[in-house]
Amino acid sequence: MTMTLSQTIQQQFPAELDRAVQDVFGTMLGVECSPGDAPRKTEPESFSVLIGLAGVISGSCMLRADKTSSHYIASLLTGTEGSSEAMVKDALGEVCNMVAGTWKRSVPELSSMCMLSPPTVISGTDYSLHSMPGEIRMQRYYSIGTTGFAVMLHCSEGQ
C-alpha cells in the first residue's frame, strides 16, 4: 500500500526533525541538542519564529523559545555574549530556517517541491499565534544544556 505524503510526513516527522535539529545545532552552534520534555516553567517573554511552507505541502514550521533560551541560542550562533534583541531575532530566524530546510531535504517528496518563506519573528509577553487547521500538527521539545525550545509543524497537502 502506498502512503500519502501526509502519512509519510507523520510517520517520518519525529525522527527526521530530531536529526535535522541535532545536525543544525551540532554543526552550526557546536552543541549537543536532544529531544526533551516540555518545560515545567517558562519565562513570560518568548520569541517565536515562523517559516511558511508552500508547494506540495502548505503550512508552517515554527520554533519557539523563552527569552533566556533565545539569547543562549543567539550567542552560540554568533559567538558573542549579550546579543541585542535585533541580533537574537536574526539568529533565531536563521536557526529556524536551517532546521526547516534540513528537515525538508530529508523527505524526498518535499526536497524540491516545497518552498520556504523568509522567517517572521515575533517576541513579547502577551501574544498567541493561530494557524489554519491542517492534517498534520506536531510539536517536539528539545534541550540544550539547561535551556530548551519547541519546534512545531502545522501543514496540509498542497493543492
Q: Which residues pair with 141 in a beta bridge?
A: 36, 150
Whether domain 51-159 has CATH 3.40.1550.10: the reply is yes
> Using CA atoms, how far apart are residues 107 and 84, in angstroms rounded to an integer?
35
- Classified as helix, coil or strand, 125 is coil
Question: All 3 cell numbers of residue 36?
Answer: 526533551
Query: pLDDT tens, 87-132?
Result: 999 999 999 999 999 988 887 777 788 999 999 999 998 887 777 6
* Predicted confidence band of residue 148 (pLDDT cuts 50, 70, 90): very high
User: From CA 63, how far away is CA 29, in angstroms rounded?
Assistant: 16
Domain residue limits, the chain: 51-159
